[in-house]
Amino acid sequence: MYVAFLLKKYPKSSETFIANQARALVERGHSVDIYAQKRTSDRPPDTTPAANDIIYLESISSSDKAASILGTQIPALLRHPEYPLRVLRYGTGAVPQTDLWRRRSDPIRHRIEEYDAIHAHYGPVGNAFQFLASETEAPFVTSFYGYDASELLEKNPWRYESLFDSADVIGSLSSEMDEELVRHGCPSEKVTRFPLPVDTRAFQLSPPASDCDKPLQLLSACRLVEKKGIKYVLEALESLKTDYEIEYRIAGDGPLRDDLERQTSERGLGDVVEFLGWKESDEIARLMADSDIFVQTSTTSTEGDKEGTPTVLLEAQARGLPVVSTWHAGIPEIVDDGSSGLLVPERDSEAIKSALEELLSEPTKWEKIGRNGRKLVETRHSLDAVADILEKMYTGVHGGEL
């Protein structure tokens, strides 16, 4: 097959799951063209395939925005009287950019008859290019990944109403995401569950040793934003540090870094916690190899932002690390509670403490837990497993969990 991927930015080191989808297809003998709205300065992920072609579209202009407003925003105002109130409350966050790239889409439109499938990644990208669905008989697929099916729908419940009509397949990561999309107007028969892929070759199984005298190594790798829940881990560590020799490394950066560093100091965790800053995916893999437990206690943000199924939790399990995470969004569908890790309620530092204490007190169980996690990833999230599902999505065999 010959597939076009539509992206907002490329390359983006935090989106190895998209690069892995392309690689899974390429390794099956398919071809992938990548169309991106913006070029970034990121180093391409190691998993990025040699795409058949990479095309950057011209920047949108004020006339493009005006056309989108006239063609989609004004009709939306007429259909939904509450829409102006949403715009007043959330500003541009309530405004969907529908058909925004119509005037800049010549590169893909000139080739559109060659493609067997058009795959937009993230709801806003699907919105921006949904006009392509009427210009080809190839299926138009849009995948949702997290904030696009949570926070953005909180700000504008009608954001994707025309996309849901025009798309042939809507990709979802979890049962909760399925329900949200259907509740906001997506026909249930269009929703297809597909797991995020992990290149297990890049994360060799190496369960943590249980007989070392070194401090216990905890690791988190994420953007430092509210929904990652790092503050609750710090609260849990304040009391744990008296009973265990712990080192907690946080790989990532973001708007909450200063606040989290201040909290670390105030809680007397300066000798326990180390902020490493942003790390590339290969550096994260090396950090995992030197860690004992991976921690990601995600939570729903005050803006309504939620995770999908965090790739980093899959990568940690592929490495063989026990994980501590939360009963949040799609996480229970990628972490087997009690088998490959432990799940706790959101925003519950006492529960996080108890889960860490349970793992820290029984290091002889780490290897078994790690192997369970590796098996889970190999079975459900390997490149081969995901390639099977993508092929079905692109050939019209979709709907439900494949």
Do 363 and 214 fall within a single domain? yes
pLDDT at 401: 47
- How many domains does the chain divide into? 2
Is the separation of the CB atoms in 286 and 260 below 8 Å?
no
Do 133 and 246 fall within a single domain? no
Q: Each residue's pLDDT tens digit in the chain (402 positions)?
A: 999 999 999 988 888 899 999 999 999 999 999 999 998 888 766 555 557 899 999 988 888 878 777 777 778 878 898 988 998 999 888 988 888 888 899 999 999 999 999 999 999 999 999 999 999 999 999 999 999 999 999 999 999 999 999 999 999 999 999 999 999 999 999 999 999 999 999 888 988 876 667 899 999 999 999 999 999 999 999 999 999 999 999 999 999 999 999 999 999 999 999 999 999 888 999 999 999 999 999 999 999 999 999 999 999 999 999 999 999 999 999 999 999 999 999 999 999 999 999 999 999 999 999 999 999 999 999 999 999 999 999 987 555 444
Do 145 and 247 fall within a single domain? no
Do 253 and 315 fall within a single domain? yes
pLDDT at 98: 86
Do 161 and 284 fall within a single domain? no
CATH number at residue 311: 3.40.50.2000
Is the separation of the CB atoms in 205 and 270 below 8 Å?
no
Domain around 321: 200-380
Q: Write down the pTM of the prediction.
A: 0.93
pLDDT at 44: 66
The Cα–Cα gap between 152 and 160 comes to 10
Do 135 and 247 fall within a single domain? no
Do 103 and 165 fall within a single domain? yes
pLDDT at 336: 98
Query: How many C-beta atoms surround the C-beta of residue 300 within 10 A?
Result: 20
pLDDT at 338: 97
Do 111 and 252 fall within a single domain? no
* Token couple for 390: 């993508």
Q: Which residue has the tokens 């989108």?
A: 68
Do 25 and 152 fall within a single domain? yes
Do 127 and 247 fall within a single domain? no
Do 267 and 374 fall within a single domain? yes
Do 215 and 268 fall within a single domain? yes
pLDDT at 46: 58
CA-wise closest residue to 156 among 229, 91, 239, 64: 91
